[in-house]
Amino acid sequence: MDERSLRGLLRQALDAEPPLGPVARNALRAGIRLRRRRRAQGATACAAVIAAAVVAIPTLTGAPHGGPALGGHSAPPPRFVYVVDQNPGKPGMVTPIRLATNKPGPSIPVGKSPLDIAVTPDGKTAYVSNDSSPGTVTPITTATGQAGAPIKIGPIAAMMAITPNGKTGYVVTGGAQSKPGAVRVVDLATNKPGKLIRASYIPVAVAVAPDGRTAYVANYGTSLVTPINVATGTPGPPIRVGRGPCAFAFSKDGRTAYVVSQVAGTVTPVNTATNRPGTPIKVGKLPTVIAVTPDGSTAYVLNDGGNTVTPINTATNRPGTPIKVGSGPVSIAFTPDGRTAYVVNAIGNTVTPINTATKRPGTPIKVGNDPRAIVITPDGKTAYVGNQNSGTVTPINTATNRPGEPIRVGKFPEALALVP
């Protein structure tokens, strides 16, 4: 996103709500890119973490590191990293990298301008959203690497979330220019688009609570989060949080949703049983991404405006001392044992490891140009970092924190996911 677009979006978000005038397609796109800041946005960078601008099986299903998910689904161990590539001027592609060899396989064509990827809890299908006109979602059968017929979503198909039972997908989309944005429901058993649920101004993120009962939509152009009853498909009363909500994470027990509000510089805890917000937690400037440690004790918030990470004690909801990282933090991932957090710094072209016991950053790890997304394998041995302007993925040995040989994948890697 250029500086003019960024300033325009922030100005809109600071205006009195509800905003007046049309919701333009470009405004929604701008909000989406600001949310992930991998089009910068990446996390995000607002990301619905569900673990971070990190896209992986555990993030999308609530299952820890590929183990049994809610609803009885259990995905086999991942064999590939799927790399979503924008491939400007041509159809988008997904390139599978085999974990055993770090070799890329044949690319899978998807729609134009792919943005996000979500994987079902059983690992059998990956869904790629395409910011095309109209927006679509492309299903990929992971056993064969074959793409299915595109699912029509709306003017835009952006961020996605899947229920823990694997039955339903939610895709952020845009309305017509005279209407607010919305969320499209998708029946994943049939891959048919269903109900269009009205959201508010500039919806940029969607996440499903671990118990599978409620989906939450962040409306960046307001101070509102829209809860959706999964069983009935009906939206509930909006939840008021700070200005510019853009990202989610859930406590380990699922009782609390943490909502990042970029403009307000806060994180608001929301009781998922009552949908009532608690006292906002002040963090750094322009927070964009949030992720919770595997043991659930700490939430880490990436602050793009100060190049810091704010740890929040989830037992007390009190913020700790900000941790200095590299320039332009956009995404975060934890090793399965929770001992190390890896923060991707887009502008600095580095990854900063953080010791979660001491909250101290380690020596930055040099990766490719404009890194955006990161995933860590379930055995914790390797982190993969997508470098948007290098067209590469950098593997990092987590035992030594040394980067390996870059893996060439395409033009502009946009998102990563681990798949069986």
Q: How far is 167 from 58, CA to CA, in rounded Å? A: 17
What is the percentage of the chain residues whose pLDDT exceeds 70?
Answer: 81
260 has a pLDDT exceeding 60: yes
Higher-confidence residue of 288 and 52: namely 288
What is the percentage of the chain residues whose pLDDT exceeds 90?
Answer: 75
Average pLDDT over residues 183-196: 97
What is the structure's pLDDT at 59? 33
Q: How far is 81 from 373, CA to CA, in rounded Å? A: 12
What is the structure's pLDDT at 331? 97
Entry pTM: 0.87
Q: How far is 224 from 399, CA to CA, in rounded Å? A: 42
What is the structure's pLDDT at 179? 58
333 has a pLDDT exceeding 50: yes
pLDDT band at 88 (very low <50, low <70, confident <90, very high): confident
pLDDT band at 369 (very low <50, low <70, confident <90, very high): very high
Q: Identify any residues that bridge with 203 across adjacent strands, giving them in sequence order.
A: 219
Average pLDDT over residues 244-266: 97
Q: For 116, what's the count of Cα atoms within 13 Å in the CB-facing half-sphere? A: 40
pLDDT band at 181 (very low <50, low <70, confident <90, very high): confident
Domain boundaries 3-35+52-321+413-419, CATH class:
mainly beta
